[in-house]
């Protein structure tokens, strides 16, 4: 059965795609939930309008992410931690701590957007990647310094 999707559905297609699915899946899941419609002239026109609106919205969101990436590229974060004499931290600096430090500076970043292969365990300066969108990434300078004694 051929249907046109009214929204993005994982492992099936994106808004406006014409997909071929089994009739039971269409009748029992996609059509009752309003996720897809039969392919007709009026439905095609309606979905094309929705696709254009979704595309414009996505472009505006990506532009906002690029703006945020510029802010991130100019920003640096300092995180204090207790370390031994050789500069090895007793704990580690995680992506959550970096995201929290960025939020403290007024830059809204989700914890999952901060990408590190492994936590930072030494004192030093690191370049950390922040993944904002599939096409937008930024690099933030992270300074890990010795905590001042209280």
How many CB atoms are located within 10 Å of the residue 51 CB?
16
Strands (E), 35-110: 36-38, 76-81, 88-93
Confidence of residue 150 (pLDDT cuts 50, 70, 90): low
pTM of the full structure:
0.69
For residues 116 and 131, the answer to whether their CB atoms sit within 8 Å is: no
For residues 83 and 146, the answer to whether their CB atoms sit within 8 Å is: yes
Q: Where are the domains of the chain?
A: 2-63, 69-146
Q: Which helix (H) or strand (E) holds 63?
A: helix 41-74
- Structure confidence at residue 66 (pLDDT): 92
| CATH class of the structural domain 2-63 | alpha beta
Nearest to 35 by CA among 57, 5, 60: 5
CATH fold of 69-146: Ribosomal Protein L9; domain 2 (3.10.430)
Query: For residue range 49-86, what is the model confidence (pLDDT) as tens digits?
Result: 888 888 898 899 999 899 989 989 899 999 999 999 89
Nearest to 101 by CA among 133, 126, 65: 126
């Amino acid at each position: 059965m051929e249907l046109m999707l009214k929204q993005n559905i994982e492992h099936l297609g994106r808004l406006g795609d014409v997909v071929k699915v089994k009739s039971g899946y269409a009748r029992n899941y996609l059509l009752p939930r309003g996720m897809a419609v039969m392919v007709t002239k009026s439905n095609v026109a309606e979905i094309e309008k929705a696709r254009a609106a979704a595309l414009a919205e996505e472009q505006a969101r990506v532009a906002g992410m690029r703006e945020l990436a510029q802010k991130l590229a100019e920003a640096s974060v300092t995180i204090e931690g207790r370390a031994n004499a050789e500069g090895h931290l007793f704990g580690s600096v995680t992506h959550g701590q970096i995201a929290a430090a960025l939020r403290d500076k007024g830059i809204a970043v989700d914890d999952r957007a901060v990408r590190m292969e492994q936590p930072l365990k030494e004192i030093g300066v690191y370049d950390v990647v922040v993944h904002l969108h599939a096409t937008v990434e930024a690099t933030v300078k992270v300074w890990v310094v010795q905590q001042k004694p209280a």
